[in-house]
Amino acid sequence: MVAMFEKSPPVPLEEFVRIDYRDLMDFVTEVFIRLGASREDAGIVADVLVTADLCGISSHGVQRLKSYYYEKVKSGVIKVDAKLETICEGPSYALLDANHGLGHPAAYKAMKLAIEKARETGIAIVCVRNSSHYGIAGYYALMAAREDMIGISMTNTMPYVAHTGAVGRTIGTNPIAFSAPALSEPPFLLDMATSVVPIGKIQMAVRLGKKIPLGWGIDSEGNLTDDPVKIVENGALLPLGGLGELLGGHKGYGLSLMVDILCGVLSGSGFGGFIERNTIGHTMMAIDISKFMPVEEFKQRMEKLKNYLKNSRVHPEIGKIWIHGEKSYLTMQTRKKIGVPVHKTVMKEMEEIAEELGIEVEWLK
């Protein structure tokens, strides 16, 4: 029996409204259908966004619906009816062109293709060019884990980060996700930005009027700041490890460049400061475990690793040892039962979208 667990919201609970995740899914799907997307693509977008909220990653959930996706589709920046095109393909690789369409369905179909190819060749890589923001990277890595494969998902982003030694936005938050199956739920899932935090956390802090920890970003002059507005307006995030090399900022910088090379340079998409809207690149990889050893043996070895880590001596100031993916999994189980907390400002934005598109939603009234 899964214990009830939920990450605490950063603001008082009375500022949130609990919505059933299925209602959110239906609403987001209908929004994208009304905007011109196919039912399949609209459903994929909805699943990725609501999964983020279920996992407690609200920075990548429905709070982005109006401010990012809806506005960019309405203005023509994101083309919801774009066709995914195959540029080149071989037994264990492919390059796809999203043609400036929605990132979620492009990434979903790329990972599906990587999984299919990996079943034949053992390992496969599929790159996507000319795409847009694809939501949480872990969603796609988990697709492979659910098929008893190791999954890797990466994307570059618009530049929001100052690389080590620089002032101003020069490189992306460029997230990496890695997932592997185990005997017990959940699968191992590492899902991380190569910056200290993703830009969505800064945007959430602005929306909620909250200060941020010193060390997340710098202002326009290169000074550390706890004001998210200064980062959003003219500042920049910092790479993993923070400012300078003392605590490893150059390592986060290097990881970001690795993602940029695999997603941007290799795919023929944008990279670094040369990314324009909808010239983002994604890279999906799948590794068929059965080609290396029996899947059950791999899962038993994974379980042994998990138990070894969890049974280690616990630091008194930490209190509990977690394995990557556990917190999000338990949060999801809880929110499926009690609803997804949606901030009142986001509810208002969804009301505006519903009114503009003529969608009747009882729970929005």
Whether 212 has a pLDDT exceeding 50, the answer reads yes
Per the structure, the complete domain to which residue 35 belongs is given by 13-364
The reported pLDDT for the residue numbered 49 is 98
Residue 299 forms part of a structural domain: yes
Band of residue 220 on the pLDDT scale cut at 50, 70, 90: very high
pLDDT tens string 155-201: 999 999 999 999 999 999 999 999 999 999 999 999 999 999 988 88
CATH code of residue 307: 3.30.1370.60
The reported pLDDT for the residue numbered 15 is 87
The reported pLDDT for the residue numbered 203 is 87
Closest CA to 129 of 152, 158, 105, 100: 100
The reported pLDDT for the residue numbered 11 is 57
The number of CA neighbours under 13 Å toward the Cβ of 197 is 20
**What is d(CA 3, CA 320) in angstroms, rounded to the nearest whole number?**
15
Closest CA to 53 of 352, 344, 341, 348: 341
The reported pLDDT for the residue numbered 82 is 96
The reported pLDDT for the residue numbered 365 is 74
Does residue 179 sit in helix, strand or coil? strand
Q: In the chain, what percentage of residues exceed pLDDT 70?
A: 97
The reported pLDDT for the residue numbered 12 is 64
The reported pLDDT for the residue numbered 207 is 83
Band of residue 1 on the pLDDT scale cut at 50, 70, 90: very low
Closest CA to 343 of 3, 127, 64, 30: 64
Residue 2 forms part of a structural domain: no
The reported pLDDT for the residue numbered 13 is 74
DSSP secondary structure letter of residue 69:
I
Mean pLDDT, residues 303-324 taken together: 95
Residue 8 forms part of a structural domain: no
CB 52 within 8 A of CB 134: no
Residue 52 forms part of a structural domain: yes
Length of the chain in residues, anyone? 365
Task: For Cα atoms 119, 121, 125, give the angle at the middle one, nearest 5 degrees.
Answer: 90
Considering its fold, how many domains does the chain have in total?
1
Place of tokens 């017990």: 184
The reported pLDDT for the residue numbered 284 is 98
Residue 3 forms part of a structural domain: no
Global pTM value: 0.93
AA letter at 121: T
Alpha helices (H) in 283-325, listed in sequence order:
295-310
Mean pLDDT of the chain: 94
Residue 7 forms part of a structural domain: no
Residue 172 forms part of a structural domain: yes
Whether 2 has a pLDDT exceeding 50, the answer reads no
The reported pLDDT for the residue numbered 364 is 87
Mean pLDDT, residues 279-305 taken together: 98
Residue 102 forms part of a structural domain: yes
